[in-house]
């Protein structure tokens, strides 16, 4: 959870305590003209019992909010926040914000987010210019290179915690950024990245709504957190409406996670220009994942927020229908499928690694296959790729990440896909001068190869400042 979210949580608790204390103070303050009645022993005992019950309720809510903080920290990492939660940073004194009033009793609402500005300077034309995925072919006689000042990576986050029901904690999360609905458009708007409800306990989680994929869920730690090497060896991390169930098994050796989901077949966040349109075939996509992690992230042992080690395998399968808006060809169905393996580990206090490998077909809905599904003769685009990252913590508040990823696409017969290869390499530095502020600097190299032996490459430099609330 961001610094602002933690302050909001503290404000909710403090406001509750003040409200209770104010009510008790009013009850204990006699009227100016009325005598103070003597309280009987049963009344005093009843008041003490009521106070003890209220104290127990507050302690329970505090434990629940701490658990929610851990969940939001993980969610922010998945959706691209650059917050790194310094280990030893001192928390400055601050006045609590106003308590957020909930519509129903027993519902807590925490509002947070970040204000983030990026400056991205490139040596070649890239798509889009603010958070590039691809390098565009060079145009003879046109000077390449752009500079883009952008605030679309800013986020708004609402975390809702409801009551317990049948041993499950009810809640939900809404998260949005300032991108348009289509990330490749390069326009401002409101981009609903996350919007789901959940019921969770120690062993199970049931969720419904807009969520990151179960398939291939890891993402490299980049200043350019929106592209996240999608189309450069990193599938998954698209956002789809899902019905999801998760099972957690705790053992002496670590934690086993089993996940399964029914997902909408076609995401709307990536729409490459095309005369063809796609729609679902009446069946959802099926996703599944199994992962095992040994040793949870422990800041007293390592500054890197990774388990001691983790391995996992995931898969996805589904289908979609393609048709021509102009009626140039009859509609046809395409089957998609993919499998991915993942891993992560930390070594000592400062060093960590993570990465993924995948292989599949027609995986554009999962931000793989360089956003391609079929070729001109309707053959599914096959692809394979992966990415790896090395991370080094210079101090609890400063860390660097170095990574490389590549997607390679081809067709088994007939016409070949328009984009054959896309690769990205990056190196960055994050610094947290305060618990609520992060500065980032990242250098990237991208190279894109097109059909017909056309290719282009370019360097980019991104500077980011983030203020969390």
Q: Which two tokens stand for residue 409?
A: 């696409």
State the residue for tokens 């599938």.
Answer: 235
Q: What is the dihedral of CA 200, 201, 202, 207, to 10 degrees?
A: -20
pTM assigned to the model: 0.76
Fold of 3-15+56-468: Porin (2.40.160)
Please give the distance of CA 56 from its chain centroid, rounded to a whole number. Answer: 34
- Integer Cα distance of 226 and 424 in angstroms: 14
pLDDT of residue 7: 38
Task: Name the stretches of the chain with pLDDT < 50.
Answer: 1-34, 36, 78-99, 273-275
State the residue for tokens 């008041």.
Answer: 47
pLDDT of residue 265: 76
By DSSP bridging, strand 309-324 and strand 276-280 are antiparallel
Which alpha helices (H) appear in 269-333, and where do they start and end?
A: none
Rg of the chain (C-alpha set): 25
Measured at the CA of 359, the angle between CA 343 and CA 217, to 5 degrees, comes to 40
Which tens digits make up the pLDDT trace of 408-433?
999 988 789 999 999 999 999 999 99
Classify residue 110 as left (phi > 0), alpha (psi -120 to 50) or beta: beta
Which tens digits make up the pLDDT trace of 310-336?
999 999 999 988 777 766 677 888 899
Which CA distances in Å does 189 have to 50, 181, 220?
49, 7, 25
Nearest to 210 by CA among 162, 171, 263: 263
pLDDT of residue 15: 42
- Integer Cα distance of 408 and 370 in angstroms: 8
pLDDT of residue 9: 37
- Integer Cα distance of 263 and 265 in angstroms: 6
pLDDT of residue 320: 85
Nearest to 468 by CA among 157, 65, 225: 157
pLDDT of residue 179: 81
Domain range annotation of the chain: 3-15+56-468
**DSSP secondary structure, 414-432, as one string:** SSPPSEEEEEEEEEEEEEE
285, β-bridge pairs? 263
DSSP state of 89: P
């Amino acid at each position: 959870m961001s610094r602002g979210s933690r302050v909001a949580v503290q404000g909710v608790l403090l406001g509750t305590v003040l409200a209770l204390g104010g009510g008790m103070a009013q009850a204990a303050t006699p009227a100016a003209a009325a005598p103070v009645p003597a309280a009987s022993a049963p009344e005093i005992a009843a008041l003490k019992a009521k106070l003890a019950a209220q104290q127990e309720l507050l302690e329970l809510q505090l434990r629940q909010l701490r658990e929610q903080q851990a969940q939001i920290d993980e969610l922010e990492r998945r959706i691209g926040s650059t917050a790194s939660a310094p280990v030893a940073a001192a928390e400055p004194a601050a006045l609590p914000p106003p308590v957020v009033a909930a519509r129903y009793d027993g519902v807590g609402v925490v509002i947070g987010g970040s204000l983030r500005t990026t400056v991205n300077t490139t040596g070649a034309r890239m798509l889009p210019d603010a958070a590039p995925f691809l390098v565009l072919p060079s145009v003879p006689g046109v000077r390449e290179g752009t500079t883009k000042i952008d605030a679309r990576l800013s986020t708004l986050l609402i975390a809702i915690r409801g009551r317990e029901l049948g041993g499950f904690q009810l809640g939900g999360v809404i998260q949005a950024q300032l991108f348009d609905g289509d990330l490749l458009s390069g326009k401002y708007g409101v981009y609903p990245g996350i919007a789901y409800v959940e019921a969770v306990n120690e062993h199970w989680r049931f969720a419904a709504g807009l969520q990151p994929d179960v398939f291939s869920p890891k993402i490299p730690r980049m200043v350019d957190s929106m592209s996240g090497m999608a189309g450069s060896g990193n599938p998954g991390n698209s956002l789809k409406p899902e019905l999801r169930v998760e099972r957690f098994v705790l053992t002496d050796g670590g934690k086993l996670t089993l996940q399964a989901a029914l997902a909408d077949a076609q995401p709307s966040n990536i729409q490459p220009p095309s005369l063809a349109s796609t729609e679902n075939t009446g069946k959802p996509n099926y996703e599944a994942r199994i992962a095992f992690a040994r040793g949870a992230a422990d800041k007293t042992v390592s500054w890197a927020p990774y388990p001691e080690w983790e391995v996992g395998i995931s898969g996805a399968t589904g289908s979609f229908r393609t048709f021509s808006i102009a009626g140039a060809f009859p509609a046809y169905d395409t089957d998609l499928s993919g499998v991915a393996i993942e891993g992560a580990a930390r070594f000592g206090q400062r060093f960590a690694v993570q990465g993924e490998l995948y292989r599949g077909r027609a995986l554009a809905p999962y931000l793989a296959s360089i956003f391609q599904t079929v070729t001109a003769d309707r053959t599914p685009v096959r692809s394979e790729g992966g990415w790896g990252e090395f991370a080094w913590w210079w101090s609890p508040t400063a860390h660097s990440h170095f990574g490389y990823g590549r997607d390679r696409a081809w067709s088994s017969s007939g016409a070949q896909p328009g984009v054959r290869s896309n690769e990205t390499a990056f190196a960055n530095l994050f610094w947290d001068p305060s618990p609520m502020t992060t500065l980032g600097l990242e250098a990237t190299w991208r190279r894109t190869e097109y059909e017909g032996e056309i290719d282009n490459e370019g360097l980019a430099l991104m500077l980011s400042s983030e203020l969390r609330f």
